Structure 1
Amino acid sequence: MSDPQSTENLVLTADLTWEPISDLEVGDEVASFSRFENTEPYQHSKLQTSTVSSVLVQTVEAVRIHTDRGSVVINANQRLFPEYHAHREASRFKTGHGIRFVARPELYVENQAYRFGYVHGVFAGDGCLFTNETTNHGTIRCQDEVIVKTVHSYAPPEYGLKLKKKTSDDLFEVRTTKGAEVDEIRLSYPIDESSVDNPDYCRGWLAGMFDTDGSFDGKTVRFCQKKAEQRGILKETLGVLGYDFAAEPEGIRVRGTGSRLQVLTEIRPQVHRKVRNYLDRSWKGTAKVHRVESLGEREITSLATDPGQTYIVDGFCAHDVRQLMLC
């Protein structure tokens, strides 16, 4: 999680992960947006991707903008996008103004709980467990190679997982080796049932379930699952993380206008072709300004991007620094 007192900004990448701005390099892809500036009152933005074309580090007058969705430390002259205008310098925002906002920034460590959750979530979605007198193994078959490779790298050694190339039905496969300890690999329950109270485990489980049985059409995040046991775990993990959701005949839908990207940035799925369905979708989330605090001179890192000339910093929609580079 980002430190509210830090001046190290987090930038949303094209694959909906948050990265420290100082870690970005020319050529990296970030999430950005286009503006409909020929229409009033500038209420809509379309999300897109842009490429970092320049990284600018300057010692400048800085401000911290406090809002109901978090805060951002930024160059006082850098432009952010208000609710009802094309752009406004950061220092000119006042209490009650709205700033276009996408999602709360969070930095998470993929710890053992997350990795364990991911393995179980994938098994719950596309796994099969065979246990009888002659066979004792678990198998995952899916169309995305990144899933089986991630499971192979995340699973503990006692699972004895072995990767296979595409099967005859054009699927990738990972399976346990003969004699592996697979009696504890269950399709819907963690080994330690108290793990479902661990937010990191829940994020991993939801990421694995999304990669196998989830969908995102740019508007709605869904987990497509009919089995009662898996639906029960879905509801429990979503509840632990505080997401609003609704049950449907075919699965579970995440509700709330601002939730569709928030959940994806927090659980961090591996199948990016699903995640990138946010492209060319309208977005009109807003954060309300509480106050603007002058910080004096600070070293601030900023970006220039193409073709959008915009990026998302600490969740806020910002113009890039092209105009500052000309000053």
Structure 2
Amino acid sequence: MKPVVPRKGRGAPSNLQGRFERWGREAFDDGWAREEEELPPPKTEVTLIQAKSILTRNASPDISFDRSINPYQGCEHGCVYCLAGDTKILMADGSFKPLAALEAHDEIYGTEKRGHYRRYVRTRVLAHWRTVKPAYRIRLADGTELVASGDHRFLTEGGWKFVARSRASAERPHLTLNNTLMGFGTIPSFPRPLDSSAYRRGYLCGLIRGDSHLGVYRYLRPGRTHGDPHRFRLAMADMEALERARTYLAEFGIGTDRFTFQPETPARRRMEAIRTSSSASVAAIGRLIEWPGCADGDWARGFVAGMFDAEGSFSDGVIRISNTDLQMIEVLTDALRGFGFDTTVETLKPHTPKPVHVVRIRGGLREHLRFFSAFDPSITRKRNIEAQALKSEARLDIVEIEPLDRRQELYDITTGTGDFVANGVISHNCYARPSHAYLGLSPGLDFETKLFAKANAAALLRQTLSAPTYRPEVISIGANTDPYQPIERELKITRSVLEVLSECEHPFGIITKNALIERDIDLLAPMAQKNLVRAFVSVTHLDNALARRLEPRASAPLRRLEVIRRLAAAGIPVGVMVAPVIPFLTDRFMEEVLERAREAGATLAGYVLLRLPNEVAPLFKAWLDVHYPMKAGHVMSLIHQMRGGRDYDSTFGVRHRGTGTLAELMAQRFHLACERLGFNRARPPLDTSRFRPPRAGAQLDLF
């Protein structure tokens, strides 16, 4: 039975389930099952949201800008076109987890620029996936090793750089032996000691001797023959340590009762406690925490963890453990030195009857994380490295970059900060239909009909540009979804963003396939005179019938050429983006699009081969089956020839251009046409020197 054409005015034929969804989607009536009944076009639902930030930094490798603004999530236009698994990822509790074992919603550490320093901040894993790519091994001077694809990026002393050079982009920044990565380096692995009886004894010794009430009190009471009470009590504000102690005691056959020691007050935290008054239990605890003949190995690891949970702190980037008992301090320092930690002991008020001795661990963040890994204290509150500056004395200069000459299973994640900590160095994560799946929506019709508009975009941008530490760099507008959605006519969010950038004389680039950009020529033209803006118009082909099927709600191809003409006439540097190029459907238009765009005044040009990542592949295949069933097999065959036999290859450079003979011929066609037509001549970069912070409120300034 022949299926009908999908819902009128939309590109996606259905609402497929996103790869990040753990639940099944409800059935969506896309009209394919009913041939005779014509369904009304699905309406666009726009949700105004108050975004938390507007400037996306260190954006995806798919774009050439480090900063971007996307006023909208989702797109009405209806167009349908990593690291080794054992890499250790720094989790939010200070522990490490293999990259392959991460899951969406895990809390980890990323980084964020605050003031003069990039600092560690907690973030969430938004997505996690697996791929197969050619792999490289990077070795650092301190022994750190990383296995990553060539298109993965790491933070160096000179900014973000890819692992390997790209054949498609000679200017792509990539790692060399002169680079130094940023971070703290690999932390040596220790086997988890929680199953060791010696570790449990050591932990209880450190915790109970450090912060409990244990004793037998002997005194005479007239008329009573028994006057020897036995007491054990351990009270703590942190439940992790209390529960661990209670569990360990139970494993040694010692039962305890739990009770509230101190209720919460405005000035004090709630404290819970465990206790026992059994003479046998108190005696057993006493034997359990006796000093061993040799305080090393797992017992020493447990003892350090117990003392840290009892009387340790981690603040201002310093680990400190305090006690008044010199024997406790001596055992502690011996244990730390036995594991190679550099310590110093400071005595506070040494002339008092019971001075406090403080053991401080030196060596910076790397040693502090090694401390947590080696001893595994239980209190997560004390393992927080948030807001610490990204500074380290580790030797992270690159000593070798080795192609492994094989394709390997690799993993990547998307995080809230755009980066994460992998084997102790800062790694970039890899980006507009799949982004809807992060929200629990379909990358199909939901992406075209359920839009999110950032109503406070201009206010957020003004606030960001007003920061004393802000430094201007070129911003890309519409790197993920088109900034000129049809709803922009009413909402004018993109225009409000342009008004702020115009006021501040901040440079930016903008790309669209919508003629609505002409509305804003009054803002763009004056900025172009100051070398502050460049515009790109996407022109995929010149076939109106094809456009109605491929880009049903975008401006017609000839109308986009007219947009180029009007922008150029206004003095705005404008380029044409031939994207996406679909073999056997649109590739035949490449030279003609370039010629017509050049006649209209375009001076820049680029192209992108059709990309079918993740959910886009089944959407495009379904679109082909509906609109071009006789060509579908041949189109996909050509795509596979240009993508290494698959629907998609996400390697940077390759993802834009493809590989193989057909891809090379397409690149030559584009290059020769650009040479003949005079595209992409050298021109000065956009000017960042004119930037001035936005005015406060309506107050006039003296400019």
Q: TM-score scaled to structure 2, two decimals?
A: 0.41
2:370 and 2:107 map into 1 onto residues whose CA distance is 19
Once structures 1 and 2 are overlaid, which stretch shifts more, 227-236 or 124-133?
124-133
Superposition map of 1:107-256 within 5 A = 108-109=191-192, 110-112=194-196, 113-132=198-217, 134-155=228-249, 157-168=251-262, 170-176=270-276, 178-183=278-283, 185=285, 192-194=292-294, 196-198=295-297, 200-249=298-347, 250-256=357-363
Choose 1 or 2 for highest CA Rg. Answer: 2
Q: Distance in 2 between matches of 1:139 and 1:159?
A: 17
Query: Quick check: 1:16 aligned with 2:16?
Result: no
1:76 maps to amino acid:
G
Of all paired residues, the percent bearing the same amino acid is 20
Structure number with greater CO (CA < 8 Å, separation at least 6) is 1
Distance, in Å, in 2 between the alignment partners of 1:141 and 1:167 is: 7
Matched to 1:282, the amino acid is: A
* 1:236-292 per-position Cα deviation (integer Å, ceiling 9, x unaligned): 11111111011011411111224233323332322222222x211212224122212
Structure with higher strand content: 1
The Cα of 1:124 is off from its aligned counterpart by: 2.3
Tell me: CA distance 1:13–1:184, structure 2 relative to 1, closer, same or farther (3 Å).
same
Q: CA shift at 1:223, angstroms?
A: 0.4
Please identify, of 10-19 and 114-123, the stretch whose mean Cα deviation from structure 2 is larger: 114-123
CA distance in 1, matches of 2:313, 2:238: 14
Inter-partner Cα distance in structure 2 for 1:27 and 1:188: 40
What's the offset of the Cα at 1:107?
A: 5.1
Distance (whole Å) between structure 1 residues aligned to residue 158 and residue 271 of structure 2: 49
AA paired with 2:386? L
Alignment partner, residue 412 of structure 2: 302
Deviation at 1:46, TM superposition (A): 0.2
2:288 and 2:341 map into 1 onto residues whose CA distance is 20
Partner of 1:3: none
For 1:147 and 1:79, the matched residues in 2 are separated by 39
Partner amino acid, structure 2, of 1:266: A
Q: Report matched runs for 1:21-170 at 5 Å.
A: 21-35=99-113, 44-67=117-140, 68-82=142-156, 84-91=157-164, 92-105=174-187, 106=189, 108-109=191-192, 110-112=194-196, 113-132=198-217, 134-155=228-249, 157-168=251-262, 170=270
Gaps of at least 5 residues in structure 2 are 1-83, 165-173, 219-227, 264-269, 348-356, 432-479, 481-649, 656-703
For 1:140 and 1:99, the matched residues in 2 are separated by 45
Say whether the 8 Å CA contact 1:137–1:180 is kept in structure 2.
Answer: no
Q: Distance in 2 between matches of 1:283 and 1:29?
A: 19
Partners of 1:259 and 1:146 in 2: CA distance: 23
The CA deviation at 1:225 is 1.5
In 2: Cα distance, 1:190 partner to 1:45 partner = 46
Aligned counterparts of 2:402 and 2:199: Cα–Cα separation in 1: 37
Mapped to 1, the partners of 2:280 and 2:287 lie a distance apart of 16
Q: Mark the runs of 5 or more structure 1 residues left unpaired by the alignment.
A: 1-5
Q: Give, in whole Å, the separation in 2 of the partners of 1:86 and 1:240.
A: 38
CA distance 1:230–1:186, shift in 2 (3 Å): farther
TM-superposed deviation, 1:176? 4.0
Instruction: Give me the whole-angstrom Cα distance separating, in 2, the residues matched to 1:16 and 1:27.
Output: 17
* Alpha carbons 2:111, 2:119 under 8 Å: kept: yes
Contact 1:161 1:177 (C-alpha < 8 Å) held by counterparts: no
Q: 1:190 to 1:320 in 2, by over 3 A?
A: farther
The CA distance in 2 between the partners of 1:314 and 1:271, in whole Å, is 23
Are 2:85 and 2:98, in contact at CA under 8 Å, matched by a contact in 1?
Answer: no
Residues 76-123 of structure 1: CA distance to partner in whole angstroms, max 9, x if unpaired?
2111111x2221112343335211123533253223133332222211
Matched-pair contact (CA < 8 Å) for 1:32–1:47: yes
The AA in structure 1 aligned to 2:363 is G
Secondary structure at 1:167 match in 2: strand
Amino acid at match of 1:171: M
Offset of 1:171 from its aligned partner?
2.7
Are the equivalent residues in 1 in contact too, given 2:85–2:100 (CA < 8 A)?
A: no
RMSD: 2.7
